[in-house]
Copies of this chain bind each other. A is one copy, B any other.
């Protein structure tokens, strides 16, 4: 499986040493800022965090969307990688392992969640990448009679994303609630 998403990110990275360093710092700062304030975090604040002038930010990422897409793409990339790691497990375990990783990820990545419904080309490519990575895990679980068949993978991701996105008292509560919802996914197969 190829991940065009990763290439998109890589292709933007400048060649000169100082420029590349700034580019990385910006992406890191943006990842952090988007996690804290959602996709409309202040760009000037991001430049500040990265220890870089606002002009440098705009040169690397002419629009807010460019920056956002780059962060998003690299996040999705990571999730695709994880899908390969868990593929060796039993069907249901593989699925839930990946979903839990997806969930743990979403907790800090409000940005990913907000982009879940974006129609633009890059976001669509990212989603397809992610579906291609996680979808087979779900279909395998369905084929094994472990997951209900009256829902699709997109339904499932939305459910997990929603639960993960809300604020909980602690991680234990979040895990408990997620487990209950996943029981619902498994329920009719029993």
Given contacts A162-B164, A165-B162, contact A155 B183 (CB under 8 A): no
Q: Per-position contact with B for A98-134: 1 when CB-CB < 8 Å, else 0?
A: 0000000000000001001100000000000000000
- Closest B residue to A118 using CB positions: B167
Q: Please tell me how many copies of the chain the complex holds.
A: 2
How many residues belonging to A are interface residues under a CB distance threshold of 8 Å? 30
The distance in angstroms between the C-alpha atoms of A151 and B181, with both chains bound, is 12
Contacts of A183 in B (CB 8 A): 183-184, 187-188
- Closest B residue to A173 using CB positions: B155
Contacts of A188 in B (CB 8 A): 183
In the complex, whether A140 has a CB less than 8 A from a CB of chain B is: no
| Chain A residues engaging chain B, CB cutoff 8 angstroms | 113, 116-117, 148, 150-151, 154-155, 158-159, 161-169, 173, 176-177, 180-185, 187-188
Interface CB pairs A-B, < 8 A, 12:
A117-B167, A154-B169, A155-B177, A155-B180, A158-B173, A159-B177, A161-B166, A165-B165, A165-B166, A180-B187, A183-B183, A184-B184
